[in-house]
C-alpha cells in the first residue's frame, strides 16, 4: 500500500492551535491521508475540566484550512481499536505522551515540539492578563 492510500489518524483537542500542532500534522501527512480525530467539547470538559476556548465547529474549521489535514471527525478523549477500525485507519500518530489503548504496530510516536503546548499558552495568557 502506498503512502497516499494510507489513512493516518492524528488525535488532538486543538483548543489553541500552535506550531507544534502544525509540525505534527506535517509529519503525519508524509505518511498518508490525514484524518484528525478532534476531541469534542464535552470530552474536553470531562477530561480537562474546562470548556475549550473555541467550539468544536470552530476548531474543525481551522483544522480543515490547514493543508496537511484531509478530514476531521469528532472523537472521544481516547482512541481505541474499535474507533480505528470503524474509520478505516491504518496508523495513529501521536506525541510521546500517548495514552490511547491501541496496538503498538498501529502507533507512530513523534516527539513533541519543545517549549510549546496549549496548556502553556493558556497559562501564559492568564498570567499576563492577571499580573
Higher pLDDT, 76 or 100: 76
Task: State whether residue 12 is helix, strand or coil.
Answer: strand
Strands (E), the chain: 7-12, 33-39, 71-75, 91-95, 107-110
Q: Can you tell me the distance from the alpha carbon of 104 to that of 75, in angstroms, rounded to the nearest whole number?
A: 20
CATH superfamily of 3-130: HUPs (3.40.50.620)
- pLDDT per residue over 39-63, tens digit each? 999 999 999 899 998 999 999 999 9
Task: Output helix, strand, coil percentages for the chain, rounded to the nearest 5.
Answer: 40, 20, 40
The string of pLDDT tens digits covering residues 67-92 is 999 999 999 999 999 999 999 999 99
Q: Which three cell numbers stand for residue 95?
A: 506525541
Run of H or E residues at 92: strand 91-95
Q: Which three cell numbers stand for residue 131?
A: 499580573
Q: Where in the chain are the domains?
A: 3-130
Q: Does residue 117 carry a pLDDT above 90?
A: no
Amino acid at each position: 500500500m502506498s503512502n497516499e492510500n494510507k489513512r493516518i489518524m492524528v488525535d488532538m483537542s486543538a483548543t489553541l492551535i500552535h506550531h507544534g500542532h502544525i509540525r505534527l500534522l506535517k509529519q503525519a501527512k508524509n505518511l498518508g491521508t490525514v484524518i484528525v480525530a478532534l476531541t469534542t467539547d464535552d470530552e474536553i470538559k470531562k477530561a480537562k475540566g474546562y470548556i475549550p476556548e473555541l467550539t468544536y465547529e470552530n476548531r474543525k474549521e481551522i483544522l480543515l484550512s490547514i493543508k496537511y489535514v484531509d478530514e476531521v471527525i469528532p472523537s472521544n478523549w481516547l482512541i481505541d481499536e474499535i474507533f480505528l477500525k470503524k474509520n478505516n485507519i491504518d496508523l495513529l500518530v501521536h506525541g510521546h505522551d500517548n495514552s490511547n489503548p491501541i496496538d503498538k504496530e498501529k502507533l507512530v510516536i513523534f516527539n513533541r515540539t519543545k517549549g510549546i503546548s496549549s496548556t502553556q499558552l493558556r497559562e501564559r495568557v492568564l498570567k499576563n492578563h492577571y499580573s
